[in-house]
């Protein structure tokens, strides 16, 4: 199965590239702002850009869209840019998929919900609170209504191995491993379901292999707030000093509203793959200490 992974230099896309390649699928991974040795340049907003891949030569059978503008407050303050990089770029990817008759995968978020009654199942009512959440909702709806074989994965608080180590768990872990005492200011009332990007990639491999379509929530069994997540990481470094200030989200005065009781329930996926085991934050940390 020939798979194009858009945004393969990032956390989710990079893990998908590794897993799918190990499984023997020919993969073409792309980057836009951050290049790696395993990826090629692709500008989703300029389909005719001279540096874009030779899609005719690769002829993708599946296109996985892992690219988006994920800085929630930046999206709130720059809604036109958010629309371009989330909605319009996805429209161009859908057009590319139609050309080759490819299946499409869109990576979405629990920010399509308002955080009043999480964690959420796939059929829960949506009510995004932010520009970011609204644009992700629009892109996933257009993907599902595209007429293509479409799969939408909702995820949140993804962590794990990535080249830049940008995710919260990896950043904190790297800081502690380097002997630098963390100074943290974190919301104590934002709950989510962290998931290891490697588990996510393995789950997506199964869904693609079996030709699944529709919406799936991918989440592990942890449901905790950002303070609890930080303390979980810090507990593996009992001698390291740190400062941690826990705050209410309302007092942090962030431009974009956040869903407080967010997170996702992966019952649908696990009911179809009952032997699948998500690793959890502790298992990841044990593998890195």
Residue 126 belongs to a domain? yes
Total domains in the chain come to 1
Q: What pLDDT sits at residue 109?
A: 98
pTM: 0.97
The CATH number that applies at residue 38 is: 3.40.50.720
Residue 257 belongs to a domain? no
Mind listing the pLDDT tens digit for each residue in 82-129?
Answer: 999 999 999 999 999 999 999 999 999 999 999 999 999 999 999 999
Contacts of 130 (CB under 8 A, 6+ apart): 72, 75, 76, 111, 256, 257, 258
Residue 84 is part of which domain span?
3-164+192-221+262-279
Residue 113 belongs to a domain? yes
Residue 140 belongs to a domain? yes
Tokens standing for residue 97: 């998929």
Residue 234 belongs to a domain? no
Q: What pLDDT sits at residue 16?
A: 98
Mind listing the pLDDT tens digit for each residue in 209-239?
Answer: 999 999 999 999 999 999 999 999 999 999 9
Residue 51 belongs to a domain? yes
Q: What pLDDT sits at residue 137?
A: 98
Q: How far apart are CA 125 and CA 218, in angstroms?
A: 18
Residue 97 belongs to a domain? yes
Instruction: Give the confidence band of 68 by pLDDT, cuts at 50, 70, 90.
Output: confident
Tokens standing for residue 147: 């007429």
């Amino acid at each position: 199965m020939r798979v194009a992974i858009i945004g393969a230099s990032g956390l989710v896309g990079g893990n998908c590239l590794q897993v799918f390649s190990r499984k023997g699928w020919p993969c073409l991974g792309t980057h836009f702002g951050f290049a790696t040795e395993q990826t090629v340049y692709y500008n989703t907003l300029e389909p005719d850009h001279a540096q874009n891949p030779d899609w005719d030569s690769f002829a993708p059978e599946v296109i996985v869209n892992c690219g988006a503008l994920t800085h929630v407050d930046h999206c709130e303050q720059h809604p036109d840019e958010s629309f371009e990089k989330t909605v319009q770029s996805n429209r161009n990817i859908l057009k590319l998929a139609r050309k080759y008759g490819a299946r499409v995968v869109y990576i979405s978020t629990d920010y399509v919900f308002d955080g009043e009654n999480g964690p959420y199942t796939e059929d829960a009512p949506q009510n995004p609170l932010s520009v970011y959440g609204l644009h992700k909702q629009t892109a996933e709806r257009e993907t599902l209504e595209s007429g293509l074989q479409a799969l939408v994965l909702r995820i949140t608080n993804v962590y794990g191995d990535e080249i830049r180590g940008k995710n919260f768990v990896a950043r904190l872990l790297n800081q502690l491993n380097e002997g630098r005492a963390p100074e943290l200011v974190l919301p104590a009332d934002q709950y989510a379901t962290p998931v290891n990007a490697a588990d996510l990639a393995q789950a997506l491999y199964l869904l693609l292999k079996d030709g699944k379509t529709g919406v799936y929530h991918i989440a592990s069994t942890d449901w905790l707030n950002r303070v609890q997540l930080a303390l979980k990481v810090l507990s593996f470094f009992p001698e390291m000093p740190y400062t941690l200030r826990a705050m209410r989200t309302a007092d942090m005065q962030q431009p974009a509203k956040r869903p407080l009781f967010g997170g996702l329930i992966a019952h649908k996926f696990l009911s179809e793959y009952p032997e699948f085991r998500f690793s959890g934050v502790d298992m990841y940390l044990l593998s890195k200490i």
